[in-house]
Structure 1
Amino acid sequence: MDPAEYNAQMSTQGYKRTNFEEDDISNTSNPPALDFNAGVVFKGGLSLWQKKSIMERVLLILTIVLSITVIILAIVLASKQAHITYLQNSSVCLEASCVQVSSSIITAMDRSVDPCDDFYQYACGGWMKSHPIPSGHSRFSTFSVLWQSNQVIMKHAIEQPVNKSINLSEWKAKTYYLSCMDENKTIEDLGAKPLQDILQKEFPSWSISVIDSNFDLQDLLEKSKKYGISTLFGVWVGEDDRNSARNILKVDQSGLGLPDRDYYLNKSIENDTVLTAYLEYMTQVGMLLGGEENSTRSQMIDVIMFETNLANITIPSEDHRDEEKMYNKLTIQQLQQNVTLFNWLHIINSCLSPADLQVTASEEIVSYAGNYLHDMANLVNETMSTEKGKRTLYNYLMWHIIKSTTSYLSKPFRNAQKVLSEALSGTTGGEELWRDCISDTDGTLGFALGAMFIREAFKGDSKDKAEHMIDEVKAAFKNNLPNLSWMDKETRAAAEDKANAVINMIGFPDYILNVSKLNEEYKRLEIKVDEYFGNNIRSTKYQLRKNFAELRKAPKKNRWSMTPPTVNAYYTPTKNEIVLPAGVLQAPFYDASFPMSLNFGAIGVVMGHELTHGFDDQGREYDKNGNLRPWWNNQSVIKFKERAECIQNQYSQYKLNGENVNGKLTLGENIADNGGLKSAYHAYTDWVSHNQQERPLPALNLTHKQLFFLGFSQVWCSNSLKQADHLQLVGDPHSPAKYRVIGTLSNSKEFAKEFKCPVGSRMNPKKKCEVW
């Protein structure tokens, strides 16, 4: 129906107006008084109106007014219904929600770009132009926009009154937030004192201004572990990969001050921006603690050189991903025999003591460190062979303790830290304080804050709808398994069993809405409004105690590692669980008013991505019960690796600012992206076959299958600084956003078909990689 037809249809027929005809009054001797409401005039001068009582007049007026109102409403409703009928019968969806989402999509696009040449630019060019990176960010994306929206919700929630006697956990979250906001300027007034008090109490023999090489390495390590500092190595408790029904002690490499070994190797302090900034940060903090500038700088150069030596023996991240290869179970006694430098039993019992636990030398422990622990012990021995080396090691250990606290101290300490942050990520300036404090509170008491967020923002039916959608994606994944000719029948059946066994955790853990259970969660955590530094130290110790207390307990199913407001999702191989927090179950990832093509393209792909993690190069090593063991036939393993190598080689060819993506490091995420897109697409097409065809969105001239791919791509719209790009390339297992779109779509036959991309075009290469 065109607008002219619509306007004609909307015209209503007129109704005949009733005219009151007056009687002949020419012969009356006393004409009646004129009245604007006068009706028929009777002989004798009185009208019917004048003969009625006041009550009768009022009732008559009300009746007339009501009748007119009903007529007008009927006309309006008829017009509105006609309008709705027109919208519903239109070949294009013109409801407000469709117009709004269509406008948002168009604004994000750059339609001057050929979608078969660069679909990322085609989908996100407009978004990138209209979303410059704000102060305090090195990267800004659709994830960032949604997180900022969630922050506003949390701010409103946390600023409401809380009854401490009833809801102690939420009161603690609010109190922590206020301690971060620091309206009384307590943080600035205290300056370095909170840190100095710890140093004086725990490490009285150390001072940045006094050269002293006398220290007890064992004692210093044990004290540093008490504050959660993973110098030289890390120790914690987690599920035993080969027996996921029990927890076990674990140890791994650790101890670099910069994010990755790459920042040290083949670099020099004089010529490298990051190392120069790192040295400046260290020197400024040392001076704030009383050190003389030249002496402090000289000592910190020695610390950087020690860390460089440590980086040289650190296993690269891409090699560390092979969990079957890295897993090594042994007893503490065996560890002691292999690495004699430390008293391992004493260190581990020191870690366990806050949890009131102790172990013997026969206790089993899993090492993921390969030869690192042996090489590290040799490096430490060599370093301590000279007086200068002893002092360097002492400063190294103390520096890591100090560095862990600078974020909680006064502005001069935080400004010193910004020098390094800018060099690493390009970040300048900062966000509004309340945003930093909301994020900080989420990281410290995230489930108490999450309870507030859920009450404010999470609709009750969202959880059920997400559960249903993830079941549809899972069904599509399983239905595709018979199409994978490279899998043998037995392995395919085992893969289906594993997919069936995946546990879905949607929205939030139920216990957080139970006040008594939530209070119990944070019962042992003390929070004070004027002790921001102290709150963080106590929180660190609280988290450490909780972790080590799990050693003699069975791993808890359905335990969340992400807080409800988080804009992310994850898969846990040892539990075979998928977690989608409430924070990500919102637009642009999911909205009940969106076409299902967009919902499947966005949150559906996220679901498929996490599901596929159970079958990527790492996840496939775990069976349906979360145990690390061979459960594939050898021939299927060989063929899987061939296809995985195709993915690895493909992504290794992509470049960002002239620097190659690490296809080996990002392999698992790339497999998950490709498999997730495929599963979500088939889930959508299956949904279409069982539901009414959705009407096209206005002004886009795209089919819903095309919108599926566009919705997927626009999730990854992002701007980033070059420093942030490098930081991602050297240490992040995810590919850059651009290649999460281009790499994935260029492997999709369905995408090429829907956008009619010629074979050999950039988005439809002849050679495609496919695993799942």
Structure 2
Amino acid sequence: MFRSSKNAECVIILSILLFLHPIGVDNAPASNTTKEPMKSLDSEWAKDISQQAKAAEIHAMLNTKVDPCIDFYQYACGNWYRHHPAQLFNHLITDRFQLIASAFDRRLQLVLSEPRGHDVVETKLKDFYHACKLVEKDEVRYKVALQRIYQEFGKLPMLDGEDWKSEEFSWWESVAKIQHKYGKQIILAVDIMADIVNNTGNKVYIGPPDFSISSGIKILSTLQEITTVQHMKRFFGIEETKGTKITKELIAFERALVRGGSDSRKGLTLHDLLSLKSVGELRKMYNESLDLAKFLQLALGAERVPDYIYIYDEKYLNSVVKIIAETPPHVVANYILWQMVQPYIVDVKKGNMAKWCVERTKKYFGKFVDYMIYQRYKDPDVEKEVYDMWNEVREVFRSELRGNKLDWIINSTRDYALQKLDAMKLYINSYESENFTAEYVDIELTRNNYVENLQKILQRESSRKLQRQNGPVVPLEAPEVFTFTPVYNVLENNIKIPVALLQPRYFWGAHYPQALKYATLGYLIAHEMVHGFDDDGRNYDKLGNLRNWWDEKSTYQFEERRKCFQAQYHKYRYDGHQLRNDVSQAENIADNAGVKLAYEAYQRWLNAQRSANVTGIERSETFSQLHFNNEQLFFIAFAQLWCDDVQSFFRTALAISDSHAPGMYRVIGSLSNFQEFSWVFKCGQDAPMDPEFKCSLY
């Protein structure tokens, strides 16, 4: 599509340079003071270079040998793997968000590498990071500290042999004590968070934990087994043959636990899975095999046991008792204590320690990391763009709800949907209102003992969680997730934008056509907004309480449209396997509606510019180096948001385990349901990207 191939090569080089080192950001000298955004892109020459670089980046991903009306993903992303191969970089998957996360990590690593300053909390982060990096240089001290961890809660059968006594072992007492002190959830997870029915107070929840070593995918299971055996040998001196036997027992035990829970593919909602029960009732149900009253006393503290708790997935709880009764006690004991030491395991390839320690710092100081990076690189102009886009996209959806396109929804239900939409808020995860000095005042970290530091952090976090029960309402948070992708919080009815997304010129920029901004930022915001009205979000009211506010007729119509998406996406094949036949279609619903709402918002903006006779609007909405009109650029930018490369061994795992469709079908599925796409690219009526029957909900 370029008019000069020689010029294209030069611009691609410039694109790489700009991508790896955004002007005025990564090259800016770091300090502990807030910086004004540098204006190094103000000159016409710099603007032109910036535009050429972006055009080169777009062009480099295209495979113009593919007909866009046959497979638009391959057309838009066909050369992604050449520039970002998963195999070459030793990543399971490469995609756009990984690139943004890497850029964020580079900024964070620069800050963590600065000399310690006067900021007390920042100094604690730097001490944690420094101690983490020292593990590589002092493995003897690390191994000693690692072995002390499990000894706090008794003997380990795999190490202590005959000295371990089964009659002295109670699995649920061990699990409760570990969770109380360090917050590590093993076999049974106890959480304290907002009451799902009435979020004006907190409630205790008990259910399955997040499992780590039980993948049913053959290649993943093999790698998990090899890694676990290596860890047992390296850190605890367990001979390989013995380690292999123990590992197989642990994996088999955890798989049994996973199978004991409800099948996620059935689309069960929280309403289906949650049941409120009295502690007394639960004690009678399980008798001595699992004394839940005593378990909760140990896990929460005797004075904190409530009269009623929520059981999440009662099927799982029932199966746990049965599975443990059928499993040799030494296997259960090995599993519990092996799981307990997992947060402390450090297994990093040589040369990757600094990057790994950056990840650990984000994991355990997530909110402060976002705050710290935000203070250094914040740009009021970029923030304004985010909030303006939110208002535009929300207004489009508001118009849809008021208009005739959604006449299948009864007026009373539409009226409440509008109330929920009006109540929905959007925030940037800057955490400027947090008092981090007070939050971290009670934790002292060293510069030379990573394991000890991590113990202190986990103890502090566990103590803070336990105090939630009678404290202010606190939704369940995951700062390490917020760092990378926008998130809709169904319990608060709000959208949180990660600081990483504000980095300049990755998705959109002041000197790029606005079509790119609407296709990326606009779509991402619209996608999250629609989650408030998908097959899960629609079960919550405007205050975030679990409540059915849909009338019967509208519910029936919703279900018929949801089934269309279920059938459509289940027919898609990825690496030879059909996608999951999930009842839940939340992500596909959000993808389909999100791109439509973003496109309509762009059309409204464009029409407003034309009505105002803005000079050069048609020219500024295209790249002179590319032969695409502005509408085509919109769809290309949307598609390239989902470019990825997945290592061939793991494609099957992705197809059958992820609730999101693979990137190619997030593009193909959404755009083949969108008639405007076919018109823009002039697709024939028999083209695969323009099927006769299209799924649509919003």
Shorter-chain TM-score: what band? 0.7 to 0.9
Instruction: Please identify, of 277-286 and 579-588, the stretch whose mean Cα deviation from structure 2 is larger.
Output: 277-286
CA 1:283–1:216: 2 relative to 1, 3 Å: same
Other-structure match for 1:379: 323
* Structure 1 Cα separation of the partners of residues 572 and 61 of structure 2: 24
Alpha-carbon distance, 1:511 to partner: 2.5
Alpha-carbon distance, 1:259 to partner: 5.2
CA deviation vs aligned residue, 1:167-211 (integer Å, no higher than 9, x gap): 21111111111112228823x132421121122232146452514
Other-structure match for 2:285: 338
Other-structure match for 2:377: 457
CA deviation vs aligned residue, 1:285-338 (integer Å, no higher than 9, x gap): 334424344444334333333333323322222236422211211122222222
CA 1:169–1:239: 2 relative to 1, 3 Å: same
* Structure 1 Cα separation of the partners of residues 109 and 52 of structure 2: 30
Residue 421 of structure 2 aligns to a residue in which SS? Answer: helix
* Structure 2 Cα separation of the partners of residues 232 and 556 of structure 1: 24
After the TM superposition, which residues 466-481 of structure 1 pair with which residues of structure 2 at under 5 Å, given as runs?
Answer: 466-481=386-401
Note if 1:567 corresponds to 2:487: no
Note if 1:250 corresponds to 2:205: yes
- CA RMSD after TM alignment: 2.5
Other-structure match for 1:17: none
Other-structure match for 1:199: 150
Residue 238 of structure 1 aligns to a residue in which SS? Answer: strand
* Structure 1 Cα separation of the partners of residues 375 and 184 of structure 2: 36
* Structure 1 Cα separation of the partners of residues 659 and 236 of structure 2: 37
Contact 1:508 / 1:564 at 8 angstroms: preserved in 2? no
Unaligned runs of 5+ in 1: 1-82, 88-92, 264-271, 384-388, 408-413, 416-428
* Structure 2 Cα separation of the partners of residues 290 and 636 of structure 1: 62
* Structure 2 Cα separation of the partners of residues 665 and 736 of structure 1: 17
Other-structure match for 2:31: none
Match for residue 525 of structure 1 among 435, 443, 447: 443
Other-structure match for 2:75: 122
Note if 1:672 corresponds to 2:590: yes
Residue 484 of structure 2 aligns to a residue in which SS? Answer: coil
Note if 1:759 corresponds to 2:685: yes
After the TM superposition, which residues 576-725 of structure 1 pair with which residues of structure 2 at under 5 Å, given as runs?
Answer: 576-586=493-503, 587-664=505-582, 667-691=585-609, 692=614, 693-695=617-619, 696-725=622-651
Aligned residue pairs, count: 638
Other-structure match for 2:21: none
Note if 1:286 corresponds to 2:205: no
* Structure 2 Cα separation of the partners of residues 241 and 664 of structure 1: 24
CA deviation vs aligned residue, 1:506-542 (integer Å, no higher than 9, x gap): 2512225xxxx22122223332111111222222222
Residue 68 of structure 2 aligns to a residue in which SS? Answer: coil
Match for residue 499 of structure 1 among 421, 425, 437: 421
Match for residue 143 of structure 1 among 97, 100, 105: 97
CA deviation vs aligned residue, 1:382-415 (integer Å, no higher than 9, x gap): 33xxxxx1222222222222334323xxxxxx27
* Structure 2 Cα separation of the partners of residues 732 and 581 of structure 1: 22
* Structure 2 Cα separation of the partners of residues 205 and 748 of structure 1: 58
CA deviation vs aligned residue, 1:153-177 (integer Å, no higher than 9, x gap): 222222223334xx21111111111
Other-structure match for 1:726: 652
Note if 1:748 corresponds to 2:670: no
After the TM superposition, which residues 309-348 of structure 1 pair with which residues of structure 2 at under 5 Å, given as runs?
Answer: 309-319=256-266, 321-340=268-287, 341-348=289-296
CA deviation vs aligned residue, 1:50-70 (integer Å, no higher than 9, x gap): xxxxxxxxxxxxxxxxxxxxx
Note if 1:367 corresponds to 2:311: yes
* Structure 1 Cα separation of the partners of residues 618 and 462 of structure 2: 52
Other-structure match for 2:23: none
CA 1:590–1:363: 2 relative to 1, 3 Å: farther
Residue 626 of structure 2 aligns to a residue in which SS? Answer: coil
Unaligned runs of 5+ in 2: 1-42
The one-letter amino acid of 1:107's match is A
CA 1:184–1:301: 2 relative to 1, 3 Å: closer
Alpha-carbon distance, 1:468 to partner: 1.0
CA deviation vs aligned residue, 1:30-54 (integer Å, no higher than 9, x gap): xxxxxxxxxxxxxxxxxxxxxxxxx
* Structure 1 Cα separation of the partners of residues 623 and 519 of structure 2: 15
Alpha-carbon distance, 1:371 to partner: 1.5
After the TM superposition, which residues 205-244 of structure 1 pair with which residues of structure 2 at under 5 Å, given as runs?
Answer: 206-211=157-162, 212=164, 213-214=166-167, 215-225=169-179, 226-244=181-199
* Structure 1 Cα separation of the partners of residues 214 and 460 of structure 2: 25
CA 1:703–1:276: 2 relative to 1, 3 Å: closer
Other-structure match for 1:168: 120
Contact 1:180 / 1:532 at 8 angstroms: preserved in 2? yes
CA 1:735–1:525: 2 relative to 1, 3 Å: farther
* Structure 1 Cα separation of the partners of residues 47 and 175 of structure 2: 66
CA 1:192–1:749: 2 relative to 1, 3 Å: same
Residue 683 of structure 1 aligns to a residue in which SS? Answer: helix
Alpha-carbon distance, 1:675 to partner: 1.1
Question: Given the two structures, how large is their TM-score scaled by the length of structure 2?
Answer: 0.86
Contact 2:202 / 2:474 at 8 angstroms: preserved in 1? no
* Structure 1 Cα separation of the partners of residues 584 and 488 of structure 2: 16
Contact 2:540 / 2:546 at 8 angstroms: preserved in 1? yes
Residue 614 of structure 1 aligns to a residue in which SS? Answer: helix
CA 1:564–1:762: 2 relative to 1, 3 Å: closer
After the TM superposition, which residues 9-24 of structure 1 pair with which residues of structure 2 at under 5 Å, given as runs?
Answer: none
* Structure 2 Cα separation of the partners of residues 550 and 569 of structure 1: 26
CA deviation vs aligned residue, 1:621-676 (integer Å, no higher than 9, x gap): 00111011110101101110110111111111111111221141761111111111
Alpha-carbon distance, 1:768 to partner: 0.6
Contact 1:666 / 1:732 at 8 angstroms: preserved in 2? no
Contact 1:588 / 1:602 at 8 angstroms: preserved in 2? no
Note if 1:178 corresponds to 2:130: yes
* Structure 2 Cα separation of the partners of residues 300 and 183 of structure 1: 25
Note if 1:105 corresponds to 2:27: no
Match for residue 329 of structure 2 among 381, 390, 394: 390
Contact 1:128 / 1:719 at 8 angstroms: preserved in 2? yes
* Structure 2 Cα separation of the partners of residues 364 and 328 of structure 1: 10
The one-letter amino acid of 2:408's match is W
Alpha-carbon distance, 1:494 to partner: 0.8
Residue 371 of structure 1 aligns to a residue in which SS? Answer: helix
Question: Which stretches of structure 1, 4 residues or longer, exceed 6 Å deviation after superposition?
Answer: none
Note if 1:301 corresponds to 2:218: no
The one-letter amino acid of 2:189's match is G
* Structure 2 Cα separation of the partners of residues 635 and 442 of structure 1: 46
* Structure 1 Cα separation of the partners of residues 258 and 300 of structure 2: 29
Residue 445 of structure 2 aligns to a residue in which SS? Answer: coil
Instruction: Please identify, of 498-507 and 446-455, the stretch whose mean Cα deviation from structure 2 is larger.
Output: 446-455
Contact 2:482 / 2:496 at 8 angstroms: preserved in 1? no
CA 1:439–1:391: 2 relative to 1, 3 Å: closer
* Structure 2 Cα separation of the partners of residues 352 and 94 of structure 1: 58
Contact 2:64 / 2:75 at 8 angstroms: preserved in 1? yes
Other-structure match for 2:34: none
Contact 2:515 / 2:602 at 8 angstroms: preserved in 1? yes
Instruction: Please identify, of 536-545 and 200-209, the stretch whose mean Cα deviation from structure 2 is larger.
Output: 200-209
Alpha-carbon distance, 1:564 to partner: 10
The one-letter amino acid of 2:230's match is Q
Match for residue 430 of structure 2 among 485, 505, 508: 508
